[in-house]
A and B are shown apart, each in its own frame.
Chain A
Amino acid sequence: AQTVTQSQPEMSVQEAETVTLSCTYDTSESDYYLFWYKQPPSRQMILVIRQEAYKQQNATENRFSVNFQKAAKSFSLKISDSQLGDAAMYFCAYRRGGMRFGAGTRLTVKP
């Protein structure tokens, strides 16, 4: 079975600072996809970034980047230059059929 663990229920960051959200997962597969989704108070799920396991290069999307450690089964999200609009629930997810989500991390951005 695949499981996704997010050990930080809540995180806080000062505007313009950098924050890292943690995620670990468990799988016996060698090729898979990992994702970070953002869910603001509007409840709309928004894809932040994705990583293909066979690619060794860490994915980057503007201010968002990941640190993918395949051997350690770790997939953390780094948000640089945090903005007030980044405040949301962040879910790490593993793709198997549908998305299998971690418990989420609530990110607060302080002005």
Chain B
Amino acid sequence: DTEVTQTPKHLVMGMTNKKSLKCEQHMGHRAMYWYKQKAKKPPELMFVYSYEKLSINESVPSRFSPECPNSSLLNLHLHALQPEDSALYLCASSQVVENNEQFFGPGTRLTVL
């Protein structure tokens, strides 16, 4: 199994809702990542987890709350989002943070109304 899966594929939420994005990999990777990609822009790194511990937070607003419950699963909890948070959210994984290849999931397209 060499893929990263993300659910849901699409999500529409109001500014007062609480929702979660899920990312899963079964490649035995110990590093996982969240990226945000706005339309016609490159992906921007949000968070890095290494061995289930948060190692990088790129000054992301607290309305985005990551969680890594085990080595295969990465969640992104969303609360009180703004319309400008609408974007494609990409998850990726690699063997370890220092490993050079990242595998990307297909993304979750989020729309905040």
Contact = CB atoms under 8 A, between A and B. Distances in A.
Contact of A101 (B43, B48, B107): B43
Nearest to B97: A97
Contacts of A102: 42
Contacts of A104: 41-42
B68 interface: no
Given A98-B33, A98-B56, A47 B42 contact: no
Given A33-B100, A43-B106, A101 B42 contact: yes
A103 B45 CA distance: 14
Contacts of A44: 104, 106-107
A44 B104 CA distance: 7
A78 B91 CA distance: 28
A36 to B, nearest CB: 12
A97 B104 contact: no
Give chain B's interface secondary structure class: strand
Nearest to B56: A97
Contacts, number: 52
Nearest to A4: B42
Give the contact-size bracket for chain B. Answer: 20 to 34
Interface residues of A, number: 21
Interface string A1-43: 0000000000000000000000000000000010101000011
B42 A98 contact: no
A40 B44 CA distance: 18
Nearest to B98: A95
Given A52-B100, A98-B102, A101-B42, 15 more contacts: A33-B100, A35-B100, A43-B88, A44-B106, A44-B107, A50-B101, A91-B42, A97-B45, A97-B56, A98-B33, A98-B56, A98-B92, A99-B33, A103-B42, A104-B42
Interface of A: 33, 35, 37, 42-47, 50, 52, 91, 95, 97-104
26 contacts: A35-B100, A42-B106, A43-B88, A44-B104, A44-B106, A44-B107, A45-B90, A45-B104, A46-B104, A47-B101, A47-B102, A52-B100, A95-B100, A97-B45, A97-B48, A97-B55, A98-B33, A98-B92, A98-B102, A99-B33, A99-B43, A99-B102, A100-B45, A101-B44, A102-B42, A103-B41
